Amino acid sequence: MYLEHFNLESDPFRLSPDSKFFYPSLAHTTAKNYMDYVLWSRDSFIVITGEIGTGKTTLIQKMLEEAGSKLTVAKIHQTQLNEVEFIQALLDQLGVNPFHTQSKVELLSMLNHFLQRKYEEGETVVVVIDEAQNLDERVLEEIRLLSGFDSNREKLLNIFLVGQPELRNILARPSMEQLFQRIRLRFHLDGLGFDEVRSYIRFRLATASAAKFTPVSPGAKLLTYRVNDEEIELPSDLFPDELLNTVIEYTGGIPRLINTLCDTALLTAYSRDHDKVTQEDMESAIEDLQWEPYAKRSSYRAESAPKDTEYQLQVFKHGTLLSVEPLEKDRVLVGRSHLCDLKIDQKSVSGKHCQMLKTPEGYLIEDLNSTNGTLVNGEKIDSKLLEDGDVIEVGRYALRFEKADRENAPRNVTSMAPHKHSLAN
């Protein structure tokens, strides 16, 4: 409707996954590079997690499109299956009729024969399992066994488990230890930061624009573009920078939500015959969508806030107690980014440095590929199930993980649940 008005050839904020609109953020580019390596090294298991709308499907689609012709792909979206139904669904996606038998032995034999044939033909077989957090533990165990198919030299099946954040909690269970150890790569996609949201919007507009822009300087902090052999920065007239804080406040940097809000804002601006989106247009779009700020919209998060807190963090700097932070969320993000629950303004701390995930066994801490690493009790970790008294070192800060003493809890506690606490230098 508004394309001609804004000199666009296609919808810049379409919601359906389209690899043409794949935005190469640092996180998405890093994840894709890792995935490419694991895919062609036949290293079996990859787990990609992220909030709804963070671009997991587009990322997988982009990788598969660039992987070449020597690839056989099975995509499974229905995950509420038992073990036999899952193997049947997999064979059906691979073009093998599995419905004449319910025998698991026969089905596995059919799958093994198919994989051996494809390997001899030089093809790589990939199975992408979406919404994997809904899989039954018995099916996950079956998937682990399927990953054991090999040619005595290489794995015959590459498996991508794609799901929402709770998938990590499931894989962290003690009962999933064997599967957990098989995972070659785990990557979590978060919302975009301020500069990335700015570049993301410009990238989508450039891709959809009637003017043919091509990205240059991919290492630059902000994407720039070339048009008519002349390097320019894509004009931000449609979405002035003063609107970005509002976009982030109401979307949390989640790409799908950015698309929804920006599309509605463009439609509002078009209906008012504006040549760019104004703050009034943005506010009207938010009102039409009936959105609250992202942090308050529990419908977009798989998080809960229990009334009582079982654990807390004592925050120290140079041995001085700064605050006591109750762990009131299922996921607590620590780092320099404004999206973090515990924000640490220190140059040696990464934007998203580490996170703590609530699992049935307790809180699991994970380093998020930080520059200087996360230490627990003086040892650098990738992930660890925290125990009472463990000391987490992030930059110059020490976070003591301990059970909360509700009777003697300090009164001047800064809660992580309704707002974010910032630790200055």
> Which tokens is 424 given?
């200055």
Q: Write the DSSP assignment of 70-139 as a string of letters.
A: SEEEEEE------HHHHHHHHHHHTT---TT---HHHHHHHHHHHHHHHHHTTPEEEEEETTGGGS-HHH
The secondary element (H helix, E strand) that includes residue 376 is strand 374-376
pLDDT of residue 316: 87
pLDDT of residue 413: 32
pTM value?
0.66
Ordered strands of the 124-129 beta sheet? 71-76, 124-129, 157-163, 45-50, 183-189
pLDDT of residue 260: 96
pLDDT of residue 361: 85
pLDDT of residue 174: 64
pLDDT of residue 116: 92
Q: What is the 3-state secondary structure (H, E, C) of 247-315?
A: HHHHHCCCHHHHHHHHHHHHHHHHHCCCCCCCHHHHHHHHHHHCCCCHHHCHHHCCCCCCCCCCEEEEE
pLDDT of residue 283: 96
Task: Calculate the CA dihedral of residues 146, 148, 152, 154 and round it to 10 degrees.
Answer: 80
- pLDDT per residue, tens digit, the chain (425 aa), is 788 888 888 899 988 888 888 888 888 888 888 888 877 777 678 899 988 899 898 888 888 888 877 889 999 988 888 999 999 999 999 999 999 999 999 999 999 999 999 989 988 899 999 999 999 989 999 998 888 887 777 788 889 999 998 898 888 776 788 888 888 888 888 888 878 888 899 888 888 887 766 655 544 445 555 555 554 445 446 898 889 889 999 998 999 999 999 999 999 999 999 989 999 999 999 999 999 998 887 544 444 434 446 889 998 887 888 778 888 788 888 988 867 888 787 888 898 999 999 888 889 999 999 999 999 999 999 999 999 999 999 988 899 999 886 444 443 333 333 233 444 44
CA distances from 406 to 279, 311, 326, 392, 402 (A): 45, 10, 10, 22, 12
